[in-house]
Amino acid sequence: MKKLFITACVLCFFATFFMMLPTPSAVKNDSVTIISHANVFDGEHWLGKRDVAFKNGMIVDVAKDLQQKYVDALIVDGSNKYLIPGLIDAHTHAWDEALTQAVKFGVTTELDMFTNNAFASMQREKREQHDRNIGQADLFSAGTLVTAPEGHGTEYGFKIATIDDYKKADAFVAARISEGSDYIKIVYDVSGRGRPSIDKKTLVAVIKASHQQGKLAVVHISDYQSADDAINAGADGLVHGFMTKVDVKSLGQTMYKNNQFMIPTLSILASMMGQDRSGQLIKDFSKDSQFQVEDSRFNIEEIAPQLTNLRGQHSRGDLFKQAQTNTAALAKAGVLILAGTDAPNPGTAHGISLHGELELLVDAGLSETQALRAATSNVAKAFKLTQRGYIKRNMKADMVLVSRDPAQDITNTRSIVNVYKNGYEIKNNEEKLTDKLTSSVKLGDFELDIVSDFKTTWQPTSDQRFGGNSDISISHEHNDGRHFLLMKGEVKTKFSYPWAGAFSSFSVDNKKAINIEEIQAISFDTKGSTGKYKIMIFSTKQPMRPIEIEFEVNEQWRKKTLSLTHIAPALLRSVTGVAIVATLPNSRFELMIDDVWLDH
């Protein structure tokens, strides 16, 4: 008994001691912000006047009079204003500054339907950073789309994988998923016009494979028959509307029954059919507009040219009207309609065009509230997105505060007072995070050109920039059924550490650094003059001295995989580019390289 007591006392002492030690009390940005007395649309319904409290990037409370509950909260007066969830554009193609542009217009999440993998993979990390001031919209991406050889999607000047046999569906989908695709986008067209399409068998197989591997399968179609095939094949949704004059009743019933959705992308259809409504849109976001936009944050002068529509004079208003009629009919049948613009295709631009899309949906026959759902909760439901699309507890603090009532007139979504992303007001002083690579990236396969996944061209590099006298020239060559990059040069000894070779930058201006700490190795095929060569990795953390890895080359093509795992992660967190070079004791040399990859 006594022993037990002593043991208990000792344990108690230790427990108390460790409990009393000081621990970090408050997480950064712990303070609560409340937007008070705004008319709140929660993604589904108008709630009336509510206070919305958020902290660390998440909504913590939605109720009347929260100011007593959170006494230290920072209060933003929302009286006579309207608060809606951050808008979601369900159909875009995102790269470069797309996401920073989108967020200024209140689009806080974009669903991309085909882009460069390197870009998409860098955004996935960011969308998990709920409490950071990232100053851009979050991105979900299909990555590479599923299309036939020479099919739609192959025409943009960079090579993508294609599928020519339904038996390859499982492997093809698995490859997309391993690249990081959040869902699978399929291009399907039975019309026989335009580019080749996958056949129905492949369509069915890819949809089945996607579902087996736990991903949604969405289908690009442009006519009724293709839409009907996709729906019957079990697609989760259609990512375009169609302009076929047809009774969509039975299609609508099937879609409603099976919870299949449609993203009509009226914006791009309007552009294709010459329905130009950009004038009002541009005006509404210009300085001194009816919405009293306070400053030039929308940068409208730069965006306006992108809104010029595709067709010009050859207007086909009847066809566009049909697309709207079909959309309205499907909506009436209960089909989930999602707002998507297909930005930045001609006639559309990131962010701004979603406001146009909402107007086109209302014009088609949806109510204002239905249109708002199409850009918020409907997208979250359809794509099973958590934490967004609603103003509710435990959702991201992605919201748009507008000064006029969008339930009265949908164009009032343009009266933006403030956009909140992760709880931060969108201004022009956003914190810059270094993009992090979270999947493999191709620096060059040299099939068509010598451009990397980062859209940068391989450049000759030598010690001449430090006063050396080594020579180098590089060229794109074809030999023995192989395309490759050829370097020809001579290493001369004027500079103490001479080199000559080829450089691939990670950004067009070579100023942007990228975090490659998760990259395991650099791999490539090479042959050339026998000797030792080097990979040089340029880290901003060590500006005067690139990280160097040696490798040997001889007259045979060989695959080299140079591991980066022994390099200090701190150096790899900020890398601007990679060079493959010859150094001493080489003098005159020829070096060929092919299939250069950063392997994740």
Partner 1 sequence: MNTLTLKNVNSFKHELLLDIKMACREPSFFIPTIAFPLMFYIFFGLLFSDMGKGQTSTYLLVSYGVFGIMSPALFGFGASVASERDKGWLALKQLSPVSPWQYIFAKLLNALLFGIIIVIGLFTLGAVFGDVVLTIGQWLSLAALLMFGSLPFCALGLAVGFWAKGKSAVAILNLIFLPSAFLSGLAIPVFMFPQWLQQVAAIFTPFHLSQLGLKIVDMSLGQSVLSHITFLFITLFIFSVIAMKGYKRSLVN
Interface residue list for partner 1 (CB under 8 A): 17-24, 568, 570
We find the least distance from the C-beta atom of residue 541 to partner 1, in angstroms, to be 13
What distance in Å separates the CA atoms of residue 319 and residue 325, rounded to the nearest whole number? 10
* Pair of tokens at residue 425: 């007001």
What distance in Å separates the CA atoms of residue 551 and residue 172, rounded to the nearest whole number? 33
What distance in Å separates the CA atoms of residue 92 and residue 136, rounded to the nearest whole number? 15
Phi and psi of 395, rounded to 5°? -95, 160
We find the least distance from the C-beta atom of residue 72 to partner 1, in angstroms, to be 21
Q: What angle do CA 245, 369, 376 make, to 5 degrees?
A: 90
We find the least distance from the C-beta atom of residue 23 to partner 1, in angstroms, to be 5
Nearer to partner 1, 26 or 544 (CB): 26
We find the least distance from the C-beta atom of residue 431 to partner 1, in angstroms, to be 21
Of 505, 474, 498, nearest to 576 by C-alpha is: 505
We find the least distance from the C-beta atom of residue 56 to partner 1, in angstroms, to be 17
* Pair of tokens at residue 158: 């960079």
Nearer to partner 1, 194 or 569 (CB): 569
Nearer to partner 1, 1 or 19 (CB): 19
Nearer to partner 1, 464 or 540 (CB): 540
CB 580 within 8 A of CB 514: no
Nearer to partner 1, 19 or 544 (CB): 19
Helix (H, G, I), strand (E, B) or coil at 526: strand
Residue 205 buriedness (CB in 10 A; 0-12 / 13-18 / 19+): buried
* Pair of tokens at residue 258: 């099976």
CB 254 within 8 A of CB 232: yes
CB 112 within 8 A of CB 120: yes
Nearer to partner 1, 5 or 17 (CB): 17
We find the least distance from the C-beta atom of residue 569 to partner 1, in angstroms, to be 8
What distance in Å separates the CA atoms of residue 567 and residue 548, rounded to the nearest whole number? 10
We find the least distance from the C-beta atom of residue 563 to partner 1, in angstroms, to be 15
Nearer to partner 1, 508 or 570 (CB): 570
Nearer to partner 1, 28 or 314 (CB): 28
What distance in Å separates the CA atoms of residue 542 and residue 569, rounded to the nearest whole number? 12
Helix (H, G, I), strand (E, B) or coil at 107: strand
We find the least distance from the C-beta atom of residue 574 to partner 1, in angstroms, to be 16
